[in-house]
Each structure stands twice: as structure tokens, then as C-alpha cells.
Amino acid sequence: MTATETTLAQGLSRRGFLQRSASGFTAAIAITSTGALLNPSEAWALDVKGLKPETMKTLILVARDIYPHDKVPDRFYAIAMKGYDDKAAGNPEMKAQIEGFVAALDGAAGEGGYVGRPWEADRVAILKNQSADPMFETIRSGLVVSLYNQKEIWPIFGYEGESFSKGGYIERGFDDISWL
């Protein structure tokens, strides 16, 4: 069995859970020897250059816990948070702020850190306690744009986006409601 197949098998075996647990998240995103994040089941990898890979992994889970959408795969949260790695790479002060924020989350979470806490409700309680930290609001307010502004997630929500090139909705269901 290759590593990918193993992770896939673990992914399949998780299907019985009603709520996704952090141990599942921990398994789903691996950290490679070169310091990249690898999510074989979603078939994506993310090079981490400015932050510790563990920090980037935690930020992805933090993003999901702030704006949890069960139908949205991890990769969109990863894309939404990738900017912090880029910023940290060129900005030691920024890097220290982010690492400090994640260290505080890990400290509050205890052994195993933030990603080691299995239940969303517990992690959200930790986030709530840290929400006075300006870094939390920076992350949340950035995420509300960087997550929902990804066109690829719009179909998950039933939003069709740009319509001018298709002639608008005049012939495409602007008045098609049938249940009233």
C-alpha cells in the first residue's frame, strides 16, 4: 500500500463519523520531510516557506473552525490561509505574530496542541477565549474574503456568479420559482 492509498483508506474508514474529528484532520494532512503539507485524499500539496508547517496546518483547521462548511474540502481553507505563509516569509514581525497566535492556541489546548483536540466545540471554545487577540480578528476578517471569494466554492452554495456573458438570467430562470 502506498502512503496515498493508506490515507485514502483511513479517509474511507472515517465515513461513519457524524462530525469530523481533529484526529481525522491530523491524518488527512500529512507533513512531508521537506516541510510541505500533503492532503492525498484531496490530492493537493502546499509548500510552506514562511511559517512552520505545523503552524500552517493549524491555521487551516482554525479557518475551518471559524467558518465551518461541511461540504467545503480542506483545500479551499488551505488556499484561503496560504497568504499568511507568503506574508510571514518576507516579514519577521508578521511571522512572530502568527506563530505566537498559534502557540497560544496550542498552549490553551494542552497536550497535542490545537489540532490534537478532537472536537470542534472544544476548539471553538479555545478560539473564543483567544478572540480578543488582534490576530484572531485579522485572520477572521481576511478569511471572510479569502474563503468566500474563491469562485470554485460558489457552486457548493448554489451561487452561479457572473452572468453577463450568458445573457443574464432573463432566459435562464430569474422567475422560475414554482413552490410559492
Partner 1 sequence: MAAKFDQNDDSVVVIVGSGAGGGTLGNELAQKGVKVVVLEAGKRLDYSDFINDEWPSFTQLAWTDMRTTSGSWRVHKNFPNLPAWIVKTVGGTTTHWAGASLRFQEHEFKETSTYGHIPGANLLDWPITLADLEPYYAKAEDKMRVTRTGDRPGLPGSNNFKVFKAGADKLGYKECHTGRMAINSVPGDGRVACHQTGFCFQGCKWGAKWSTLYTEIPKGEATGNMEVRPESHVAQVEHDASGKVTGVTYFDADGKLQRQKARIVAIAGNSLESPRLLLNSASSKYPDGLANSSGQVGRNYMRHTTGSVYAIFEQPVHMYRGTTMAGIMRDEARNDPSRGFVGGYELETLSLGLPFMAAFLDPGAWGREFTSALDGYSNMAGMWIVGEDMPQETNRITLSDQKDKWGLPVADVHFDDHPNDIAMRNHAFGQGKAMYEAVGATRTFPTPPYPSTHNLGTNRMSASARDGVVNGHGQTHDIKNLFVSDGSQFTTGGAENPTLTIVTLAIRQADYIADQMKSNTI
Distance of closest approach, residue 18 Cβ to partner 1, in angstroms:
14
Beta strands in the chain (DSSP E): 30-31, 37-39, 44-46
> What percent of the residues of the chain are helix, what percent strand, and what percent coil, each to the nearest 5?
60, 5, 35
Q: What is the DSSP letter of 162?
A: -
Q: Which of residues 42-71 bind partner 1 (CB under 8 A)?
A: 66-69, 71
Binding partner 1 by CB under 8 A: which of 45, 87, 103, 148? 148
SS3 string, 72-87, reads: CCHHHHHHHHHHHHHH
CA pseudo-torsion sign 153, 54, 4, 117: negative
1 touching partner 1, by CB under 8 A: no
158 touching partner 1, by CB under 8 A: yes
Distance of closest approach, residue 119 Cβ to partner 1, in angstroms:
13
Residues 14 and 93: their CA atoms lie apart, in Å, by: 39
Binding mask 69-108 for partner 1 (x = CB under 8 A): x-x-------------------------------------
Binding residues with partner 1: total (CB under 8 A): 37
Of residues 16 and 167, the one with the C-beta less far from partner 1: 167
Q: Rg of the chain over CA atoms, in angstroms?
A: 19
Q: Residues interacting with partner 1, by CB under 8 A?
A: 66-69, 71, 124, 137, 140-141, 144-145, 147-149, 151, 154, 157-165, 167-170, 172-177, 179-180
